[in-house]
Structure 1
Amino acid sequence: MAEIEFTTTELMEAQGQVWNLLFSYLKSMCLKSSVELGIADALKKQGKPMKLSELTSALSIPPSKFEPFSRFMTTLVHLELFAEKLDDSGATMYALTPASRLLVKDEAMSIIPFLTLHLDPMICDSSHVLGPWFKSPTETPFELYFGKGFWDVAREKPEFSKMFNEGMTSDSRLVSDVVMMTCRDVFKGLKSVVDVGGGNGTMARSIAHVFPEINCTVFDLPHVIDALEDRQPGVEYVGGDMFVSVPHANAILLKSIFHDWNDEECVKILQRCKEAIPSKVEGGKLIIIDAVVGAATNKHARTIETQLLLDLLMMNLISGRERNECEWQNIFLSAGFKDYKITHFLGLRSIIELYP
């Protein structure tokens, strides 16, 4: 079979593609550095676009670093973390974008704890052994690198466990706010909801606030529930194991649960949830918030790429996975469900209403 020949132009373009992949780690470092410097906070505090001189002054950056900081900002603008605007004199001004708005500290929709978690060496370092892992008997690259499973390490390191919980909480805050602003109808008419794997109850609290008539329950492992200090009146907190049984309710909510588990484990969770809800005629359903790979309102290549990278992250850490609609349908059918509805509106994620 003849070897495929590529033109010089194709090879030079390929070099650019490979180099872009090679240096992509610097995107994460730019993101991390912008948070460490507090660029978004300075712009939010100012309340309007800032000149470079104003921004460097607000960030206490010495004159010797003005020129490299200008280059840094040029990259951040290209990455769409910040925007450039021109004032009346033609001078460049820097402004927040939707992305950097999420990087303002101490705000309800801040994702800084989520960012901090996923840039921690405990999350990142095991990706270095992704290649060797494919020939290894270990369950995950994380286990190959650290010698223990992800959840074992989390239990042994309280500081990392705390960081993990804070990161997941920040994500739940953002998602719950968006759900309640744009898709609250999925909860309308329900009498009770159990948030399975609900952690500190961020989602349940949001539902109870908007729909005080719904009886909300947070269901998680006993040690998670026992450790909770901030409990909202009117929300019930129950400890247990979702693989054994789930508290009965009109609806079961599962946010970012299924991507942690393989198909067989997901079927078991679904079966326990099915046992806990009434029939569809009686208003029973599961509400799943998770990614549906390849199916989103935003068909931009970046969205699909991010979903695929999330899939690799799950594979790297805990043998989990993201799923496309066909793969979701397979586990639904295996668990005895036949009817579902997908609403694509959460960017990378969707809401799936699953009926018994």
Structure 2
Amino acid sequence: MESHDAKLLRAQTHVWNHIFSFIKSMSLKCVVELGIADIIHNHGQPISLSNLIASLPIHSSKTHFIPRLMRIMVHSGFFSQHSHADNELEVKYALTDASFLLVKSHEMSMAPFLQATLDPVLSNPWTQFSSWFKNGITTPFEMTHGKSFWEYAGSDPRINILFNDAMASDAQLITSSVIDKCKDVFMGLESLVDVGGGTGTMGKVIAASFPQLECIVFDLPHVVSGLQGSENLKYVGGDMFEAIPPADAILLKIQLGHLTYKKWPYYVNYIT
């Protein structure tokens, strides 16, 4: 039977792990911003620590922290490590399946999604979560910034671009599977509206794959402003809480999370 002290120590470890779990996501954000996955990918083979440090845009006084950062990332499964028994600087790092998706040039890169999710504008509202429960404000985001996420994105071009890029990268990951595995869903349809379709990543692929289908990418006016459609694809601006363009089928990728945003701050797609 486990002793009282052993139970207490295990419980303390559990609490500590959750207290410091943010270090993993912030370290991952740092890795993306420093371009470490891109450096290893462009190197074409496992890269030594010394070569990695030489390739990084960092101050010389910070070089001895890189092994610590890489240790966290290796432990988290983002890089594999090949040790050198005699020379620590010749330890080599290689990409894993996870870090390969952080390479910015990868067609299915998740780097934009990470950068949006962990941007202070989107992450700071979580620090107000307990306060939000004590008042009548709709969401933590609105309590922190004084407006809804959609209003904020409409007035801040940086966040608008960041969010749209994130949604586009997320769509890339599932679009090929949808087209390959769910072709029958689109057969017989003459029209489809992609609600909250962003800049049209998924809509473009669907329109190209099914020429008989008239596709509408429907999103907020500031999202689709200036975007050009094609012969069977058009962009329409509007508010899905007011009206949705009529079509044979409605595509909701992750927008169902938004349909309840007035009752819950949501987690499906940022704190909106």
Bin the TM-score by the shorter chain.
0.7 to 0.9
CA offset at residue 178 of structure 1? 3.7
Task: Identify which range, 214-223 or 196-205, moves more after superposition.
Answer: 214-223
Matching residue of 1:252: 250
Q: Is the 8 A contact 1:200 1:228 kept in 2?
A: no
Q: 1:97 to 1:64 in 2, by over 3 A?
A: same
Q: Is the 8 A contact 2:34 2:57 kept in 1?
A: no
Q: 1:181 to 1:234 in 2, by over 3 A?
A: same
Matching residue of 1:42: 39
Q: Per residue, is there more strand in 1 or in 2?
A: 1
Matching residue of 2:107: 108
RMSD over aligned Cα atoms: 3.1
SS in 1 for 2:267: helix
CA offset at residue 15 of structure 1? 0.9
Q: Which amino acid aligns with 1:210?
A: S
Q: Which amino acid aligns with 1:84?
A: Q
1:288-299 map, 5 Å: none
CA offset at residue 254 of structure 1? 1.1
The separation in 1 between residues aligned to 2:179 and 2:226, in whole angstroms, is 24
**Alignment equivalent of 1:74, drawn from 66, 71, 94:** 71
Q: 1:148 to 1:65 in 2, by over 3 A?
A: closer
The separation in 1 between residues aligned to 2:219 and 2:100, in whole angstroms, is 31
Q: 1:58 to 1:159 in 2, by over 3 A?
A: closer
Matching residue of 1:149: 148
Structure 1 residue runs of 5 or longer lacking an equivalent are: 1-5, 266-310, 319-356
CA offset at residue 186 of structure 1? 3.4
Matching residue of 1:303: none
Q: Which amino acid aligns with 2:257?
A: H
Q: Is the 8 A contact 1:140 1:316 kept in 2?
A: no
Q: 1:178 to 1:98 in 2, by over 3 A?
A: farther
Matching residue of 2:11: 14
The separation in 2 between residues aligned to 1:191 and 1:17, in whole angstroms, is 54
CA offset at residue 166 of structure 1? 2.0
Query: After superposition, what is the alpha-carbon deviation per residue over 1:39-92, rounded to whole angstroms, capped at 9, x for unaligned?
Result: 111121122222222322333667765543122211101111112246899974
CA offset at residue 18 of structure 1? 0.8
Aligned length: 268
The separation in 2 between residues aligned to 1:57 and 1:316, in whole angstroms, is 36
The separation in 2 between residues aligned to 1:78 and 1:52, in whole angstroms, is 16
Identity %: 43
Corresponding position: 1:317 with 2:271? yes
Matching residue of 1:131: 130
The alignment's TM-score, normalised by the length of structure 2, stands at: 0.84
The alignment's TM-score, normalised by the length of structure 1, stands at: 0.66
Q: Is the 8 A contact 2:49 2:91 kept in 1?
A: yes
